[in-house]
Amino acid sequence: MDSEGVAMVWQIFSGTGEPASVEAWRALPGPPPWRNRGAAVRHFVPPEGLLDAVNAALHLRRPLLLSGPPGSGKSTLVGLIAAELELGEPLNWHVTSRSTRADGLYQYDALGRLHATQTEGDEGAAAVQNFVTLGPLGTALADPSRPRAVLIDEIDKSDLDLPGDLLNVLEEGIFEIPPLVRDAGAGDHASEKSSTLYHVRGADRAFYPVNNGLVERTNWPIIVLTSNNERTFPSPFLRRCVRFEMPTPNADFVQKVVASYLAEAAEQEQAKIGEFAQRLVAGENLALDQLLNYIYLVSGEARDGARDRLEEVLLAELSGK
């Protein structure tokens, strides 16, 4: 059965290369619920202590730094916070080793504007604000209507200075967009300073007011930082965060997670759930969605013959090999 209780055909692909029917693709099942972000948020099972850490971060207006292995639910939490507090869609920023402070605040397409000034007959099309886009953090600071939830994912992959630079921006609640500042300054007069209001596209495709190229915080954003523990952070950075380490799931917790998605199958697969939990406690590098994938696929009689092969494929340790 799939997540909606509909019987699934296991062997959709036969390997013969011959189409089974004119519209064989219709045999493709819907995705399992944990592959849908909205469903994953609704089924999220918070580990003990996490709710207190979230509430501490909300009261203190501090970022929440979640640490733990991949697949432990760290990035799902921000969607749950945004849904419960009615903050709109979360703003997501996936950090890499090349990410800079500016990437989170704004991007400016200088080459695009240069091309537009040379080819467009309409001056409005080449207006500088058309080539500025706010980043996820910049959008949250610019939104005057409500606080926004921001996920800064895998902050431990960044260069050494980025975490501190971002917290400095959050503390100050203000940053400049130099192309807009220069454009506004070009209209200054000797006796009076003009005020130029720009409307800049955000990371969520909405437009936000920016006065004279200066973004000033109206509402404190709710920031969730995640780390896979690939590096350590300096003490000044840690001091300005509320920290929570996602605990190693025990058998009871794993059972709750599986039951939240696959209630009947969870009862039938208690032995496999206990075995998986033991592997986690022993320090093996595993993610809970591996177990969900496995139980989801082997819970039907038509797939009993593939059970051992699926276990080998889906429940192998995440060694990177």
Q: What is the pLDDT of residues 95-152, one digit of tens each?
A: 999 999 999 999 999 998 888 888 765 666 789 999 999 999 999 999 999 999 999 9
Angle at 49 between CA 45 and CA 52, to 5 degrees: 105
Contact 41, 77 (CB under 8 A): no
Q: What is the pLDDT of residue 7?
A: 53
In this structure, are 203 and 70 located in the same domain?
yes
Identify the CATH number of the domain in which residue 55 sits: 3.40.50.300
Give mean pLDDT, residues 54-81. Answer: 92
In this structure, are 56 and 142 located in the same domain?
yes
- Strands 207-211 and 174-176, sheet pairing: unpaired
Asked if the structure places residue 108 within a domain, the reply is yes
User: Nearest Cα to 252, choosing from 224, 231, 280?
Assistant: 280
In this structure, are 232 and 269 located in the same domain?
no
One-letter amino acid for residue 43 of the chain: H
In this structure, are 68 and 196 located in the same domain?
yes
DSSP assignment, residue 204? T
In this structure, are 201 and 104 located in the same domain?
yes
Q: What is the CA radius of gyration of the chain?
A: 25
Asked if the structure places residue 24 within a domain, the reply is no
> Residues of 283-301 as b/e, b for ≥16 C-beta within 10 angstroms?
eeebebbbbbbbbbbbbee
Q: In what order do the strands lie in the sheet with 197-201?
A: 106-108, 132-134, 197-201, 207-211, 214-216, 174-176
Q: What is the pTM of this model?
A: 0.85
Q: Count up the domains in the chain and report the number.
A: 2
In this structure, are 290 and 165 located in the same domain?
no
Q: What is the pLDDT of residue 192?
A: 47
Q: Based on the number of CB atoms within 10 Å of its own CB, is 153 exposed (0-12), middle (13-18) or buried (19 or more)?
A: buried
Q: What is the pLDDT of residues 222-260, one digit of tens each?
A: 999 999 888 889 899 999 999 999 998 889 999 999 999
In this structure, are 74 and 198 located in the same domain?
yes
Asked if the structure places residue 279 within a domain, the reply is yes
In this structure, are 99 and 193 located in the same domain?
yes
Q: What is the pLDDT of residue 149?
A: 97
Asked if the structure places residue 218 within a domain, the reply is yes
Q: What is the pLDDT of residue 141?
A: 97
Q: What is the pLDDT of residues 159-210, one digit of tens each?
A: 988 999 999 999 999 999 999 999 988 755 344 456 899 999 999 999 999 9
Residue 309 has pLDDT above 50, yes or no: yes
User: Nearest Cα to 280, choosing from 307, 238, 314, 251?
Assistant: 251
**What are the backbone dihedrals phi and psi of residue 176, each rounded to the nearest 5 degrees, phi first?**
-100, 150
The CA-atom distances, in angstroms, between 80 and each of 40, 61, 123 are 9, 18, 44
Tell me which residue range forms the domain holding 297: 249-314
Phi and psi based region of residue 49 (left: phi greater than 0; alpha: psi -120 to 50; beta: remaining): left
One-letter amino acid for residue 252 of the chain: D
Asked if the structure places residue 13 within a domain, the reply is no
Q: What is the pLDDT of residue 193?
A: 55
Q: Which long-range contacts (CB under 8 A, 24 or more apart) does 95-99 make?
A: 95/152, 95/153, 95/154, 95/155, 95/157, 95/158, 95/162, 96/154, 96/157, 96/158, 97/157, 97/158, 97/159, 99/157, 99/158, 99/159, 99/162
In this structure, are 170 and 293 located in the same domain?
no
In this structure, are 142 and 51 located in the same domain?
yes
End of a domain among 222, 245, 268?
245
Return all residues near 198 (Cβ < 8 A) that are at least 6 apart. 128, 129, 132, 180, 184, 209, 210, 211, 213
Q: What is the pLDDT of residue 300?
A: 62
* Residue 162, beta-bridge partner list: none
